[in-house]
Amino acid sequence: MEPFSCDTFVALPPATVANRIIFGKNSDRLCDEVQEVVYFPAAVHDNLGEHLKCTYIEIDQVPETYAVVLSRPAWLWGAEMGANEHGVCIGNEAVWGREEVCDEEALLGMDLVRLGLERADTAEKALNVIVDLLEKYGQGGNCSEGRMAFSYHNSFLIADRNEAWILETAGKYWAAEKVQEGVRNISNQLSITTKIDREHPDMRTYAKQKGWWDGKKEFDFAAAYSYLDTAKMMTSSGRYCEGYKLLNKHKGNITFETMMEILRDKPSGINMEGEFLTTASMVSILPQDSSLPCIHFFTGTPDPERSVFKPFIFVPHISQLLDTSSPTFELEDLVKKKSHFKPDRRHPLYQKHQQALEVVNNNEEKAKIMLDYMRKLEKELFRQMESILQNKHLDVDKIVNLFPQCTKDEIQIYQSNVSDHMVS
CB neighbours of 240 closer than 8 A, spacing ≥ 6?
A: 7, 185, 186, 187, 188, 189, 191, 233
Q: Is 6 a catalytic residue?
A: yes
| CB 22 within 8 Å of CB 286 | yes
Which of 6, 89, 143, 294 is the catalytic position?
Answer: 6
Q: What are the residues facing 53 on neighbouring strands?
A: 58
Query: What is the SS3 assignment for the chain?
Result: CCCCCCEEEEEECCCECCCEEEEEEEEEEECCCCEEEEEECCEECCCCCCEEECCCCEEECCCEECCEEEEEECCCCCCCEEEECCCCEEEEEEECCCCCCCCCCCECHHHHHHHHHHHCCCHHHHHHHHHHHHHHHCECCCCCCCCCCCCCEEEEEEECCCCEEEEEEECCEEEEEEECCEEEEECCCCCCCCCCCEECCCHHHHHHHCCCCCCCCCCCHHHHHCCCCHHHHHHCCCHHHHHHHHHHHCCCCECHHHHHHHHCCCCCCCCCCCCEEEEEEEEEEEECCCCCCCEEEECCCCCHHHCCCEEECCCCCCCCCHHHCCCCCCCHHHHHCCCCCCCCCCCHHHHHHHHHHHHHCCCHHHHHHHHHHHHHHHHHHHHHHHHHHHHCCCCHHHHCCHHHHHHHHHHHHHHHHHHHHHHC
CB neighbours of 238 closer than 8 A, spacing ≥ 6?
A: 187, 189
Whole-number CA gyration radius for the chain: 21
For residue 139, which of 166, 164, 159, 168 has the smallest C-alpha distance? 168
The C-alpha atoms of residue 220 and residue 239 are separated, in whole angstroms, by: 21
Indicate which residues carry an active-site annotation: 6
